[in-house]
Amino acid sequence: MAITAQIISDDRGSERFPVGLNATLRDQVTRPHDVMIEDLSLTGFRLSGGPALELGSEASIGFAGIGVHQARVTRQDGSIYGCEFVTPITQEMLTRALNAGPVSPIAFPTGPGPSLLDHVPEPHVEPYSGRTKLVIATIAATAGWAVAAGLYFALT
């Protein structure tokens, strides 16, 4: 009994390249999610991590080399998604993304220490306007006379 093998064609629009790039996915609510681009082509990419996405939903993806582009989810296998660019990227963008080195995150200061603004004097801010000061003085004077009158009538 012979077993025949069937070759299944891979009808992808263009060649895929394994990349392992960090990227930021923004869903339709525009919340940012850190994801990993596992492979990339002119027409799409495969990503892992991030939020649960529905087939057919659109999101924007941003990573070094190509900037931010709209993409549509076309395939799902667990937490791995296949996406196609709404508008395919150019060969130049693909080359830049493939040659992009790792992007190190911005090192924000985490503890107390010298600040870039230490030498800048605090601006003088007048706490109350002239009109507000007049109202406060009038209320304070009236309250003082009311207390004095109250004590006078209470003691007599």
pLDDT tens digit sequence for 3-34: 655 444 455 567 888 888 888 888 777 778 88
Contact 23, 48 (CB under 8 A): no
H or E element at residue 37: strand 32-40
Contact 28, 59 (CB under 8 A): yes
The answer, as to whether pTM is greater than 0.75, is: no
Q: What is the pLDDT confidence band of residue 43, given thresholds at 50, 70 and 90? A: very high
Structure tokens at 66: 């190509």
pLDDT of 124 = 75
Nearest to 62 by CA among 83, 84, 34, 90: 34
The stretch 69-96 carries a mean pLDDT of 91
